[in-house]
């Protein structure tokens, strides 16, 4: 069944059950021809794709999946190690910022570092003297960090005294959205955690996926509608922060909050 722009643009807020119903309507496929488990895979693939579009396009408003129950901010105690592994369970896409307190009281923003761009050697943890030499180039009130090998490497490396004093690190990061489960798809009451104007993309995307191998004629219409919504999504997420005053001077550009 082909849908005109009037048919699909009227859908704003959609539950997962309504999205699944639209997939059936657009593909004309029963859950035998297009099994629920396969629909779930396609819906979650497009959920990841849509959130990637949001991260690519967003301004300073910083998107997080509304279905997640905690902010993507983690506080972890310091150890005498230089490296801090990023848990796979956190589904981290990128680091936003890192702050460090070496004394458990004063917190300082850490600056990103590409250690390979320096002349300092890479010393194993067992090389006590070499690590001490490296740390002489850095200061606890101006900490640096490097992200490599799925870990955050901290400069300078905390001492045992700083660990005992309650030193800690605060990390903000962007994470993947929470995928839907088969149980949630069957229940149908869950709502996607991004702007409801674009919920229809989770029906259009899987419908296109279903139509492609079968060479169904409505595929091009659905892809066009998907692309149109993608363009609108990118524009909407790139212009959410309106509360700024822009000041222009001679060869200098400044912007300040009201």
Contacts with 78 (C-beta within 8 Å, 6 or more apart), sequence order: 100, 102, 154, 158, 162, 163, 167, 168, 169
CA angle 85, 111, 49 (to 5 degrees): 60
What confidence tens digit (pLDDT) does each residue in 1-48 have? 445 444 444 457 899 999 999 999 999 999 999 999 999 999 999 999
Which of 174, 182, 179 lies closest to 193, judged by CA? 179
Instruction: State the pairing for strand pair 168-175/73-77.
Output: antiparallel
In this predicted structure, what is the pLDDT of residue 4?
44
DSSP line for 170-230: EEEEEEPPPPPPHHHHHH-----SS-GGGTTHHHHHHHHHHHHHHT-TTHHHHHHHHHHHH
The whole-model pTM stands at 0.81
DSSP line for 131-151: HHHHHTT-BTTB-EEEEETTE
pLDDT under 70: residue ranges of the chain: 1-11, 119, 121, 123-127, 245-258
In this predicted structure, what is the pLDDT of residue 246?
62
In this predicted structure, what is the pLDDT of residue 135?
87
Which of 168, 147, 161 lies closest to 94, judged by CA? 147
In this predicted structure, what is the pLDDT of residue 118?
77
């Amino acid at each position: 069944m082909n849908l005109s722009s009037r048919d699909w643009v009227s859908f704003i807020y959609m539950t997962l059950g309504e999205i699944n119903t639209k997939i059936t309507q657009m593909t004309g496929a029963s859950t035998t021809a297009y099994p629920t488990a396969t629909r779930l895979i396609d819906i979650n693939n497009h959920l990841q794709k849509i959130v990637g579009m949001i991260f690519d396009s967003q301004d300073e408003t910083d998107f997080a999946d509304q279905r997640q129950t905690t902010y993507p901010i983690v506080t972890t105690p310091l150890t005498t190690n230089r490296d801090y592994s990023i848990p796979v369970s956190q589904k981290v896409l990128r680091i936003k910022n890192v702050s460090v307190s070496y004394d458990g009281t004063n917190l300082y923003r850490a600056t990103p570092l590409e250690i390979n761009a320096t002349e300092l050697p890479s010393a194993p943890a067992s090389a006590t003297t070499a690590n001490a030499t490296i740390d002489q180039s850095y200061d606890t009130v101006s900490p640096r960090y490097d992200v490599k090998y799925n870990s955050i490497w901290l400069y300078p490396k905390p001492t045992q005294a700083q660990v005992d004093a309650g030193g800690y690190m605060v990390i903000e990061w962007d994470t993947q959205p929470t995928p839907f489960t088969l149980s949630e798809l069957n229940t149908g009451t869950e709502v996607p955690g991004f702007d409801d104007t674009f919920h229809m993309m989770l029906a259009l995307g899987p419908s296109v996926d279903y139509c492609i191998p079968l060479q169904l004629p409505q595929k091009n219409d659905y892809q066009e509608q998907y692309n149109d919504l993608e363009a609108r999504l990118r524009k909407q997420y790139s212009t959410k922060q309106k509360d700024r005053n822009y000041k222009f001077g001679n060869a200098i550009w400044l912007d300040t909050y009201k």
